Amino acid sequence: MGSADKKARGADFVLEGNGGSIDFTAFLLGFASSALIHLGLQPHPETGALGPDPTLARQSLDLLAMLREKTRGNLTPEEDKFFDSLLTDLRLRFLEAFPR
pLDDT tens-digit profile of 3-50?
A: 555 444 444 444 455 556 789 999 999 999 999 999 999 998 888 888
The string of pLDDT tens digits covering residues 51-100 is 899 999 999 999 999 999 999 999 999 999 999 999 999 999 999 999 98
For helices 24-38 and 77-97, the axis angle rounded to 10 degrees is 0
State phi, psi for 68 to the nearest 5 degrees.
Answer: -60, -45
Q: What is the pLDDT of residue 15?
A: 47
The yes-or-no verdict on residue 1 having pLDDT over 90 is no
Q: What is the pLDDT of residue 12?
A: 47
77-89 exposure pattern, b = at least 16 Cβ within 10 A, e = fewer: eeeeebbeebbee
Q: What is the pLDDT of residue 46?
A: 87
Structural contact between residues 38 and 53, judged by C-beta atoms closer than 8 angstroms: yes
Sign of CA dihedral 43, 44, 47, 51: negative
Q: What is the pLDDT of residue 10?
A: 47
Q: How far apart are CA 96 and CA 100, in angstroms?
A: 9
Q: What is the DSSP letter of 81?
A: H
Closest to 87 (Cα-Cα) out of 98, 76, 77, 79: 79
